[in-house]
Structure 1
């Protein structure tokens, strides 16, 4: 790799890290004394498929030049940063070169907006098209759909990409107008609606005609920046719920705002969004997608923000103690999934196992569920049963004490390794 492309890669991989539409992890271990391999943190990230497999992706921007001046964005036109732009051929060569060396399994490509949405989108399409048709590349490709680009370009991109995403950026239209007045909320919604309708139509067509070309087979996703404006978690999750139901998105990603410049519209430098808030939003999102929770059960006007001390499922259970304890041997699967400490897979194991005999507390412990947490919400007529006359606050305090003791034990075990 020549020095010029290496410099571009360093700049444009670093700029891409703020897009969390795929989970990523980087290392900066250097290759010394001509050892084997290196990890310089330039562009290779990790994403996870629906079946839990981890795949490595080349995650870069086509360019960090941008005609917009969004206050929250590191690549905005008024920011004093190093600028760079790849050519179409350079991105193709990088992808194929990294793939042949077994560094990556796919490409995650986004971009600042060069000249116009169509001008930028056309180059993203050319890259994906060249990879598929000229290089015969069958790895994973995730492309950003540029808001404002024509339907024809979005359509062509989806014929070559596995997943498309249009970043919502801000949770509400008011916040977008405040921090990105040059952008239009409708420009974000329009390509989402187009992709939703096309994906659905192509699936129906494929049932009749097997040779119908694939069209964004991994669906579409979006990202919201949280903490740059004052939206509460009820507003954020309400918007996510809307996109899941109305736009049929596969994922909504939550990116905690990282203070990168002084602006009276933004939080002060030195006050980043707590990582635990991101974590709680993802946990709540998981409950909506896989556990059958309605957004109004997780947050509401009485509790508009998620509790940072306890996870959302435990928070719901503590607010609804009248629904507990449940009998694990008779309760429906959907009810069992709502017990803190029991995940979807464990709940299915419980329903399967009880077909053969009545389950007891020790059986659940062997299944690997978080039994100490779950036991407060279960009913057993055996010596393992805990007192069920505790108040919500008492249960909360006892579970938090269990968590703290576990963290201390884990920390002690780590120290023992040194």
Structure 2
């Protein structure tokens, strides 16, 4: 094996993979000391998180950055003048096993540019997972990117060896996709997602009858959208997400702010990056849809096409619907408690359990962990403190933002004071 060439490929194809955020990533670097076994420069190592909060390190790479398409937003577009590389199937298998044995990683995240055609590419992705499972007896986590347009047979096989499958729909709207990637068809993205959904349902049904039936894609499927490359409103983006959650039983939709990488008259100008806050607000909205019982039409509609960058979407909704408040936390059901700004689902469940034994007051709510400085404008409890109900939405927003700013300034001042008081150790 030519280790220098493999290292060069890893450097190129790990860097190209960083634009896919459908597994959360951050760098990892371990230097070789005292002639130890192996080393890692951080290339390709990323971190993702399980549902229970456990951090899992993955080897995150592309099989190749060669691509037959010329999507305006993509760093691997065929017209881009970049260094190209491609791994052989066995090279990816060997890298994964070697990294795993050295305890650098616990799994593999493998995507690819499309070379020759969809099936040719998907066949090689599946071959990597199949070799790892059957020849190397690898039981670590494997996430494969589904290639748009791949055959049903390949998608079925992929789910038997991978833990999670995902196909990026890339641009939220059909018109946006036609503008920036005219060679692509939204139907090609839908086909593998539909296949995966149906296979998951079928295998679950069969497993109830035949216990040794394998689990198909046990971690489900996800997708990703590029935000800000085209001019979709937040409403258009989130209505697309809501539709995909409903129709394809997705585990996650990821929102990736567009990063200008090359000039194209169809794209935002170089240096115009999507604000991180917009990504954050979209994820908060996504969370409200999946876990808080909100309907997308409540949060975004023709009157509210875009999210407020100053405040989170739940607070924004509450301020637009002050007629529903205040809510008595000792009487309200779970659905309404979850709509109070400052109450997360953990706090909601604690309130429901605690009020079985006594009426709750503000001190109880603070002990539970509720953000009382925010929630106090929207609820009542077994206390008369904070019961000023003649404030307008604008006044409440101003008070909350002022309080948040004061907390930020206080934290910053404390950090600066601490820095001033710390003296260097004498040598």
Q: What corresponds to 2:74 in structure 1?
A: 73
Q: What corresponds to 2:425 in structure 1?
A: none
Q: Deviations over 1:294-322 (max 9, x none)?
A: 00111110110000110000000110111
Q: Deviations over 1:339-391 (max 9, x none)?
A: 11111111001100111111110001011121111111111352532422111
1:34 Cα deviation after fit:
5.6
**Kindly tell me: are residues 161 and 416 of structure 1, through their superposed partners in 2, closer, same or farther at Cα, counting changes over 3 Å?**
farther
Gaps of 5+ in 2: 420-427
CA RMSD of aligned residues (A): 1.7
Does the Cα contact within 8 Å between 2:163 and 2:220 map onto a contact in 1?
Answer: yes
Give SS of 1:107's match: strand
Give SS of 1:237's match: helix
Q: What corresponds to 1:84 in structure 2?
A: 85
Q: What corresponds to 2:103 in structure 1?
A: 102
**Kindly tell me: are residues 100 and 305 of structure 1, through their superposed partners in 2, closer, same or farther at Cα, counting changes over 3 Å?**
same
Which deviates more, 323-332 or 2-11? 2-11
Q: Normalised by the size of structure 2, how large is the TM-score? A: 0.94
Pairing of 1:241-280 with structure 2 (within 5 A): 241-280=242-281
Q: What corresponds to 1:41 in structure 2?
A: 42
Q: What corresponds to 1:308 in structure 2?
A: 309
Q: What corresponds to 1:401 in structure 2?
A: 402
Q: Deviations over 1:8-58 (max 9, x none)?
A: 11111110010011111125x674976999763311111111222221111
Is 1:233 aligned to residue 234 of structure 2? Answer: yes
Gaps of 5+ in 1: none
**Kindly tell me: are residues 398 and 140 of structure 1, through their superposed partners in 2, closer, same or farther at Cα, counting changes over 3 Å?**
same
Structure 1 distance, partners of 2:410, 2:177, is: 45
Pairing of 1:204-353 with structure 2 (within 5 A): 204-353=205-354
Is 1:199 aligned to residue 200 of structure 2? Answer: yes
Q: How many residues align?
A: 417
Give SS of 2:225's match: strand
Structure 1 distance, partners of 2:133, 2:285, is: 37
Pairing of 1:13-52 with structure 2 (within 5 A): 13-26=14-27, 31=31, 40-52=41-53
**Kindly tell me: are residues 26 and 384 of structure 1, through their superposed partners in 2, closer, same or farther at Cα, counting changes over 3 Å?**
farther
Q: Normalised by the size of structure 1, how large is the TM-score? A: 0.96
Give SS of 1:376's match: coil
Q: What corresponds to 1:414 in structure 2?
A: 415
Does the Cα contact within 8 Å between 2:362 and 2:382 map onto a contact in 1?
Answer: no
Structure 2 distance, partners of 1:94, 1:166, is: 24
**Kindly tell me: are residues 417 and 32 of structure 1, through their superposed partners in 2, closer, same or farther at Cα, counting changes over 3 Å?**
farther
Pairing of 1:141-156 with structure 2 (within 5 A): 141-156=142-157
Which deviates more, 38-47 or 253-262? 38-47
Q: What corresponds to 1:354 in structure 2?
A: 355
Q: What corresponds to 2:130 in structure 1?
A: 129
Structure 1 distance, partners of 2:183, 2:87, is: 25
Q: Deviations over 1:82-111 (max 9, x none)?
A: 111111111111111111111111111000
1:415 Cα deviation after fit:
3.2
